[in-house]
Chain A
Amino acid sequence: MKELIATVKSNNLIAENIYEITLTLPESVGYIRGGQFLNLAVGDKVHLLKRPLGIVKVEENDVTVCYQLKGEGTHIISEKKVGDKLSVLLPLGNGFVIPENVKNVAVIGGGVGVFPLISVLREHAGKINFNSYIGFRNKNAVCLLDELEKSNFLTVVTDDGSVGKKGNAVSAYFEDKNKVKPDLIIACGPPIMLKVLKQKLIESGDKTPCLVSLEERMGCGIGACLVCVCKTTSGGNTRVCKDGPVFDINEVEL
């Protein structure tokens, strides 16, 4: 884990309100696992918190993340030009640790939750069979299809049916699951999506191991400040930034 001054290599709008930024790091930070994240500074002295963003791509010392325009901070980042410098802290969190014997993975992603899943597809491409179920709001929100197509099988759905079938990623997976029979499910998306996924797995008695990546407003990003906690099913708290963001779906309250 290092804090470095990165150089903006590209920063482009790729879907409605969604930008993709590639940062060139001045040095290697070692291996980055799929599902890990970085903390990106806004680059001024007004916004003191870094923005936690799931890593999408790593190519040598170039790291790519995507972000949705939300407030002032992301708007300022979206105005960064090629060659601008931004402070970045990475890699953070545990990422998706996929056991060696797992060969067939179902990927369930919704909205901006798709981004960290792409780094997993890239990390294990050719070694694991990926069946991906990806939901977007509508056709304007669809992005990174070239990356998602690294899956062995890809189903894209939208809330309004403007691309693919009308529906959501969780339902799309459940329609297919008896055919796919995954060894593992990995998922990232809005809280309601993960909650429904957990409910459906429980209701259908599906014991397939399932890892979910969570999002929370963060402070330090390294586990010191206890801002971004999530309740565990055993009655305690766990730190999303340090102990997660990836958890066994049965170990966290969603």
Chain B
Amino acid sequence: MANLSVELCGVKFKNPVIAASGTYGFGREFDEIYDISKIGGLSTKGLTLEPRLGNPVPRIAEGPSVILNAVGLQNPGVEHFIKYDLPWLKEKGTVIIANVAGRTLEDYEGICNRLNGLVDMVELNISCPNVRAGGMALGIRPENIEEVTQITKKQLTKTPLIVKLSPNVESIATNAKAAERGGADCISLINTLTGMVIDIEKRKPIIANNTGGVSGAGIKPIAVRMVYEASHAVNIPVIGMGGIMTGEDAIEFMMAGATAVQVGTANFYDVNAMPKIINQMDEWLNKHGIKSVKEIIKTATLNG
């Protein structure tokens, strides 16, 4: 058994495999299938101050090795989470990351104030491309990223802040630096790429929202490149994600510069994906005689 534990901003993870926001709810459904204490951490469904109903259906479509979703931040609101889901999750022995979103800067400020000290980490969703009035604008321009990071960091006196970056931008390195300047303790990337699938019989997009966030195996090379660029531009730790389906994929992201990874779409492909990925990482490390997963972080070097 290799040592799979990692540490991010002083928070200890038993392994570097974290459930990605929006694919795992608050963990209850997957806990009916396997004990979710097996996974390193869980980033919750995106939370907002008030409950939200989200977008009309259909909310999902498929492309080659990818899926597209436009759920639109349906969630029961942060108070419901604190009252009903958080106490249950705390019993589970996995790192709890609250993923948060808002329409305005005040929304972000308010929800971070409410969650300060209650969860292990907060992940700022400033890149969800689905809510017209919200996320997208804040996540694109470096000055907006810096501003929202500063404002939320001020509220999070007891809880480390992760800023989740959008890939739909001009320079991921510039945006990563903006989050770091704003005071982020960590960055995570990539959120989904914006895409569209058209039903050619109806001559209309399949997703009611027209566009959706593209995720899954097909986006992995883009994600690995961005994780490499971002992690080499900043001095804060990076959580990598985008199309991880296997233990080898997770290893690749860590070599690119990630200290931990998130797994999303793979949970739809195989409900047992996360425990399998953790086992596959262990097998790979054992096969290569590597005692601790920490030894592989940021070890990939570019061709001369």
Contacts and interface: CB of A to CB of B under 8 A. Distances in A.
B65 A46 contact: yes
Given A1-B33, A217-B58, A222-B32, A48 B269 contact: yes
Contact of B33 (A3, A46, A226, A237): A3
Contacts of A223: 25, 29
A236 B53 contact: yes
Contact of A3 (B23, B24, B217, B271): B271
Contacts of A230: 57
A46 to B, nearest CB: 5
Interface in B252-275: 265, 267-272
Contacts of B58: 216-217
B271 A227 contact: no
Interface string A73-110: 10000000000000101000000000000000000000
Nearest to B30: A224
Nearest to B60: A227
Contacts of B33: 1-3, 222
Contacts of A220: 23, 29, 267-268, 271
Interface string A203-225: 00000000000001111111111
Report which residue of B28, B59, B65, B216 has the largest number of chain A beta carbons within 10 angstroms of its beta carbon.
B59
A45 interface: yes
A216 B57 contact: yes
Contacts of A46: 64-65
A57 interface: no
Contact of B57 (A3, A87, A228): A228
B268 A225 contact: yes
Interface in B183-223: 206, 216-217
B53 A226 contact: no
B22 interface: yes
A227 B59 contact: yes
B61 A217 contact: yes
Contact of A218 (B30, B54, B60, B71): B60
A69 interface: no
Interface of A: 1-3, 41, 45-50, 73, 87, 89, 216-230, 236-237, 242
Given A47-B62, A216-B58, 15 more contacts: A1-B32, A48-B66, A48-B67, A48-B269, A219-B59, A219-B67, A222-B30, A224-B29, A224-B267, A225-B268, A226-B22, A226-B25, A226-B45, A227-B69, A229-B59
